Amino acid sequence: MKNETLPTKSLQKLNTFGIEALANQYVKVEDEQILLDLFAEKYFEKDFFVLGGGSNVLFTKDYDGLIVHIANKGKQHFIEGNHVFVTAEAGEVWNDLVWYCIEHDFPGLENMALIPGTVGASPIQNIGAYGQELMHIFYSCRAFDTQSGEFVTFSNPDCQFSYRDSIFKREHKGRFIICSVTYKLELFGKINTSYGAIETELEKRGIFNPSIKDVAEVVSYIRVEKLPDPSTIGNAGSFFKNPIVNKLQFENLKKQFPDIVHYTINNLEEKLAAGWLIEQCGWKGKTVGQVAVWKNQALVLTNLGKATGNEIFEVSSTIVDDVYTHFGVHLEREVNIL
């Protein structure tokens, strides 16, 4: 594990935008011992970046440090009373874990079927979709502290989850490498079909008493209809978060824009649909050079083939400016920019 033994690596196939960028050094982590070796050789004292499936990153330049590619595999579970604890290694593909749970009839992950990426990244931004969020099923994770060289455990409250956010994006940004995650699922948990088009799609299929498999299949179907497939069109899902504004700002916006799409969070805050804001600014389906705003979902920026990370970033900046000019609302990027 000496300095000179770590190779450079093209990252083009390791990020779903398909952006060409070169890593100065690259290591694939298939077992935890490699992390201890890297620590012993002081690799974590220099620049490094932890990469899972690369589905929420945008490389705007070559990476001058070490890319630590998480690829450890394994899944197991044990049942205790009415709960099942499912543990998966960080390098497992998230959607494989979803289907592992469905095959064992463990409810809780089905609404998050087909989210790209790995188990290890799932707590980082508290992934969520179709009425479910990771924070509702996350029990704990085992992580390697790159500062002390020790393995530590984070409980659910330790992670300080909120919408598309956790402690790993703030105070602990870049410090801990998640090695495995344990999810706590209710064996007889309720099925949730209330979000978006799930119910309508189930009815269309003549399903009135859906199983978790039915829900996962319908969610996967809706996602494929709406979102571009990264294996053919480079993208990282929603490029921006849905902005959260206070009630006063919301009431003022609602007066000016009665059709504004929003979700009530609590007495003080409203979440706005960023896709709607972007569409209203005329961006849906628009192309700038090699960058396009997805025709079915304005929150998604796509690489038409030869875009650079900088071109995508620049388009995103223009969108941020336009939305601010039209609505006085600041859009925050969801994608991690490197």
Active site residues: 164, 238, 334
120 binds ligand FAD (CB under 6 A): yes
244 binds ligand EPU (CB under 6 A): no
CB nearer to ligand EPU: pick between 91 and 237: 237
Least separation in angstroms between residue 105's CB and ligand FAD is: 23
Q: Which of residues 241-300 bind ligand FAD (CB under 6 A)?
A: none
Q: Which does 273 bind (CB under 5 to 8 A by kind): ligand FAD, ligand EPU, none?
A: ligand EPU
70 binds ligand FAD (CB under 6 A): yes
Owner of token pair 């077992």: 31
CB nearer to ligand EPU: pick between 210 and 230: 230
Task: Work out the burial of residue 189: count CB atoms within 10 Å of its CB; fewer than 13 is exposed, 13-18 middle, 19 or more buried.
Answer: middle
Least separation in angstroms between residue 118's CB and ligand FAD is: 3
CA distances from 169 to 11, 125, 163, 173 (A): 22, 7, 12, 5
Give the binding range for ligand FAD (CB under 6 A) out of 183-191, 227-235, 248-256, 321-329.
Answer: 227-235
Give the binding range for ligand FAD (CB under 6 A) out of 116-124, 259-267, 285-293, 306-314.
Answer: 116-124
Backbone angles phi, psi at 328, to 5 degrees: 70, 25
Q: Which does 116 bind (CB under 5 to 8 A by kind): ligand EPU, ligand FAD, none?
A: ligand FAD
* Residues 151, 90 contacting (CB under 8 angstroms): no
CA 331, 275, 318, 49 dihedral sign is positive
Give the binding range for ligand EPU (CB under 6 A) out of 12-20, 180-188, 205-213, 235-243.
Answer: 235-243
- Nearest of 180, 145, 235 to residue 70 by alpha carbon: 180
Element (H or E) spanning 53, and its range?
A: none
Count of positions on this chain that bind ligand EPU (CB under 6 A):
18
CA distances from 329 to 197, 266, 277, 284 (A): 27, 19, 9, 18
308 binds ligand FAD (CB under 6 A): no
Paired sense of beta strands 151-155 and 138-145, if any = antiparallel
Cα–Cα distance for residue pair 174/168, rounded to 1 Å = 7
Backbone angles phi, psi at 132, to 5 degrees: -130, 145
Which tokens is 183 given? 């999810």
Q: Which of residues 251-290 bind ligand EPU (CB under 6 A)?
A: 261, 273, 275-276, 279, 284
124 binds ligand FAD (CB under 6 A): yes
* Residues 161, 141 contacting (CB under 8 angstroms): no
Which tokens is 188 given? 């007889």
CB nearer to ligand FAD: pick between 196 and 324: 196
34 binds ligand EPU (CB under 6 A): no
Cα–Cα distance for residue pair 165/174, rounded to 1 Å = 14
Residue 170 half-sphere exposure toward CB, CA atoms < 13 A: 10
Cα–Cα distance for residue pair 154/124, rounded to 1 Å = 12
215 binds ligand FAD (CB under 6 A): no
Which tokens is 47 given? 């620049």
Least separation in angstroms between residue 237's CB and ligand EPU is: 3
122 binds ligand FAD (CB under 6 A): yes
- Pick one of 227, 277, 312, 329: the residue that binds ligand FAD (CB under 6 A): 227
Binding footprint of ligand EPU on the chain (CB under 6 A): 129-130, 196, 226, 237-238, 241-242, 261, 273, 275-276, 279, 284, 297-299, 334
Binding footprint of ligand FAD on the chain (CB under 6 A): 16, 49-57, 70, 90, 115-118, 120-122, 124-125, 127-129, 177-178, 227, 230, 235-237, 336
